[in-house]
Chains A and B, each alone.
Chain A
Amino acid sequence: MTNIVSPVAGAVVSKAPERRDIGIKRRYAAERRFQAYGMAAIAFGLIFLVILLSTVIRQGYTAFQQTAISLPIEFTEKTIDPSNKRATDPSVLVAANYGALLRDAVVKELNINASSRPDVRDASAMLSKGAPIQLRDMVVADPSIIGKTINVTVLADANVDSANKGQIDLSVDEKNRKINDKQVGWMNELKSSGALFKQFNTGLFVNGNSSRPEAAGLGVALIGSLYLMLIVLVLSLPIGVAASIYLEEFAPKNRLTDLIEVNINNLAAVPSIVYGLLGLSVFINFMGMPRSASLVGGLVLTLMTLPTIIIATRAALRAVPPSIRSAALGLGASKMQMVFHHVLPLAMPGILTGTIIGLAHALGETAPLLLIGMVAFVANAPTTPLEPSTALPVQVYMWANEAERAFVERTSGAIIVLLLFLIVMNLGAILLRRRFERRW
């Protein structure tokens, strides 16, 4: 018997360690690896978020400051109005050579030999090409300043601005950069005398588009985006809420309402550029609305935002407990009264949160606006939604396509402004939800 038992026992003894080794170590290692993959994936996403935001901010925060030069300008009568005709013919003031005034002022300020033409040209190139227009507007507004000397602050040229902000590598050979050593020297001279300084860039928020980076601003885009948001809000909130109330509270379960449901879910996933095509062919081509107008853009974005708002509103309506409905109906309210007096007010925080998120989405949308012509170069602020306009993200797109270095800074600045708006809207949505959301 022992002979028989012992091999079995021996087998048990000898096999036992083998059987106990069920690869626990290997399996735990796999477990740890698996967890590490998960953490790496989240870290990857977050790192990219950080890189994206920090790149934009690093490139863009300087756009909120602009280099300006303060010069004592002599409004000499000889240059502006040599034949003294301004009393009879005010157009002299508009056509006068204001560039000469600036040139003289710069030459005097920097003590340059006025007969050396390259020097004079380089020196006046340090000022923005928009500066003569600024002087013209001053004189036209108040002709009595002719003959006086006034300290005027004009914008510096974009290249001087970039150099002043340290964005141009000055160790590169002079020929390969847009600002030469002499200009850098003058810049430093003006800087130490306090005539050249950085100031807050109000132009970025006020000016229209311009081909000169230092004068280009987001003014038109901000107004255009404001119009767009107003139109989207005014149209999509009532229509979206009405549609959701019908679907959630009144719709009978039939083919038609099923179709509407499937439709809304699909519309939420239609590429935004398709809405642009719709706007182009229906609103502009068929109905004859003006191209580039924010009205058309608003309508297109409304159609695009509606599904988002409807889905959010339906979720908010569904979250109102049935007891509220039963109580209202039990006290003799009609179904319509029940919805409008009781359910809707309780669902309002959720609806508004969804609306704000939908609006934020619409604010950042670019592609449909490109198709309906909102990429137009607009320099003057539109006064009605029917005039040509542009929008914040479209302005970003247009500046991103510009070649000049200074536009990269502007583009990043515009993105920061856009992101700030989005952050404010999303924070508002979160606060609204925290403050008013009721858990039943």
Chain B
Amino acid sequence: MSTSIILLCLVVFGAVAYVAARSRATALAGGKSSALHSRPGYYGAYAAIWAVLPALIVLCVWLAASPDIIESTVRNAFPDDVKAKSAAEQDLSYSMVATIGRGFNLLTSDELTAVGADTKAVQAKLNEKGVPLAGEPQPYMLDAAKLLNAESAGSRLVMSAIVLVLAVAGALYALRGITPRFRARNRVERVMLWGLLLASSIAILTTIGIVLSMLSEALRFFASVPPLEFFFGTVWDPRFAGAGSSSEGQFGLIPLLLGTLYIGFVAMLVAVPVGLFAAIYMAEYASPKLRSLAKPLLEVLAGIPTIVYGFFALVTVGPFLRDLSSQVSGLLAGNYTNFIQAQSVLTAGIVMGIMLIPYVSSLSDDIITAVPRALRDGSLGLGATRSETIKKVVLPAALPGIVGALLMTASRAIGETMIVVLAAGVAARMQINPFEPMTTVTVKIVNQLTGDLEFTSPQTLVAFALGITLFLITLCLNIYALYIVRKYREQYE
């Protein structure tokens, strides 16, 4: 029975159990629902849960575990000379066996007996059925494939039987337990509570997943490249991840990190003054009308996908800066060479800065408006102008919060990918000229992981080491920022 049919059966069983339990509860109460502890629907839900939940858990566990168990059974049945070979060769043989098994499932029993143990005939027949084999199979593979198919079919049969029996048994057990005084609602609500708890633990599971998955891959990377060479290396030259290429690449993090920080710095140079002044103006000066118009419009900038900014940088801003620089040098030096490259730190930084303006402005806006009115009134009452009040009273009071907001923005700048992929260039260099291209951690993660992947080469695995570095940097920035913001908020509450 296929999994979807089993699932459909479970749904039907659940519905039947619901209806049966519900009507049984009403019948037991003699039609007076006030005689029941819970409303009839809860008795139905109780029975449905018993019918579906245990069976579903068994089904999931079985589906997750059975392929591995079957694989090890089949591998144990391999002849001894095959078992003596290396693990990689055994893997290859097993995948061949799996393919043959898949092909055998497409053959009728007559065809199966017709091809018999003739390996050539098997290959030809399977090819005809649209299952091409990598080479001529060996005789033991045919037996292994038959064993594999028999085991899978057997496992599936047993699984279907157990799941369906469990569903029926669960439903019957629940139905028998129903009495008017039975506290069905409490039972159902306990299950619901567990469901809610499970849902909220997904957040934790995601974090654990991120850390564990990246850590395990990064550790495999550090097995071939020493961590010191990675964290303090000044040359990034991973070489091509071709099969059999023995040339050792160099994986130095420093140039990438410098590029990331440099571009982030330029972006903050654009975003912080503009965002802060916009926030101050909107919080302190703007009329409600202007505020209700300008604030959402600025936030549109945050809603535009970053790929659009990347394209804008690539097609408009980059060429514009390049042409501008050649005009400027033409005017000043009389020689029209552009000193700004189309892909440069400046291009990526400016465009990223524009993207970050709304983050700075709306976060600081909230913080500035949270400064108590009394502080302002006091300062204005002493004769200070509004700008003096802002500079001398409001901003110092809001400073910790603003610093927190800026740290959060900085972490966004560091983790930003699409703008730098399109606008910053791919050359990993260490230099200080903002008009030249540099590259970032995120660009290299994308570069190393697009195209054909081999999960064994350091060229691929380095992306995970870069990823965990990025994750840790942004995590630290965020935790610190949250800490500052929270502490500051408590001051005035």
Contact = CB atoms under 8 A, between A and B. Distances in A.
Interface of A: 27-28, 30-31, 34-35, 37-42, 44-46, 48-49, 51-52, 55-56, 59, 238-240, 242-247, 250-251, 259-260, 262-267, 269-278, 280-282, 285-286, 303, 306-307, 310, 334-336, 360-361, 363-367, 370-371, 373, 375, 393, 396-397, 400, 408, 411-412, 415, 418-419, 422, 426
A285 B455 contact: yes
How many B residues are at the interface, by size bracket? 35 or more
Interface of B: 185, 189, 192-193, 195-204, 206-207, 209-210, 213-214, 216-217, 273-278, 280-282, 285, 294, 297-298, 300-301, 303-312, 314-316, 354, 357-358, 361, 385-388, 390-391, 408, 411-412, 414-418, 421-422, 442, 445-446, 449-450, 455, 463-464, 467, 470-471, 474-475, 478-479, 482
B204 A263 contact: yes
Nearest to B296: A430
A367 B450 CA distance: 11
B442 A273 contact: yes
5 contacts: A52-B308, A278-B213, A281-B213, A282-B209, A307-B203
B201 A260 contact: yes
B467 A277 contact: yes
A393 B275 contact: no
A274 B415 contact: yes
A285 B195 CA distance: 28
Contacts of B274: 41, 44-45
B277 A310 contact: no
B306 A364 contact: yes
B282 A400 contact: no
Given A263-B207, A280-B449, A49 B301 contact: yes
Given A41-B274, A48-B354, A271-B442, A419 B209 contact: no
Nearest to A357: B303
Nearest to A307: B203
Contacts of B422: 397, 400
B306 A271 contact: no
A271 B408 contact: no
B202 A239 contact: yes
Contacts of A307: 203
B63 to A, nearest CB: 12
Tell me the interface secondary structure of chain A in the complex.
helix
Given A45-B298, A239-B202, A242-B200, A30 B385 contact: yes
Given A269-B411, A270-B210, A418 B442 contact: no
A267 to B, nearest CB: 6
B450 A375 contact: yes
B206 A45 contact: no
A371 B304 CA distance: 21
Contacts of B478: 265-266, 269
A260 B199 CA distance: 11
Contacts of A396: 307-308, 311
Contact of B304 (A55, A286, A419): A419
**Of B196, B207, B282, B463, which is in contact with the most chain A CB atoms at under 10 Å from its CB?**
B196
Nearest to A288: B67
A49 B300 contact: yes
A59 B202 contact: no
A226 B97 CA distance: 37
Contact of B387 (A31, A280, A285, A367): A31
A433 B311 CA distance: 32
Contacts of A310: 203
Given A49-B298, A271-B416, A400-B314, 17 more contacts: A30-B385, A37-B281, A41-B278, A42-B282, A45-B357, A48-B301, A239-B199, A243-B200, A264-B203, A269-B411, A273-B415, A273-B442, A277-B449, A307-B203, A364-B306, A412-B311, A418-B308
Contacts of B475: 266, 270
A246 B415 contact: no
Given A242-B200, A269-B478, A397-B307, A34 B387 contact: yes
Contacts of A250: 193, 196-197
A397 B216 CA distance: 30
The 7 closest A-B pairs by CB, nearest first: A271-B415, A38-B281, A364-B305, A242-B199, A41-B277, A246-B196, A243-B200
Contacts of B201: 260
A60 B202 CA distance: 41
Contacts of B446: 273, 367, 370-371
B311 A400 contact: yes
B196 A243 contact: yes
Contact of B445 (A30, A46, A371, A373): A371
Given A31-B385, A41-B274, A281-B217, A422 B417 contact: no
A292 B372 CA distance: 52
A315 to B, nearest CB: 14
B471 A38 contact: no
**Of A59, A239, A281, which is in contact with the most chain B CB atoms at under 10 Å from its CB?**
A281
Contacts of B482: 262, 265-266
A316 B154 CA distance: 51
B300 to A, nearest CB: 6
A59 B315 contact: yes
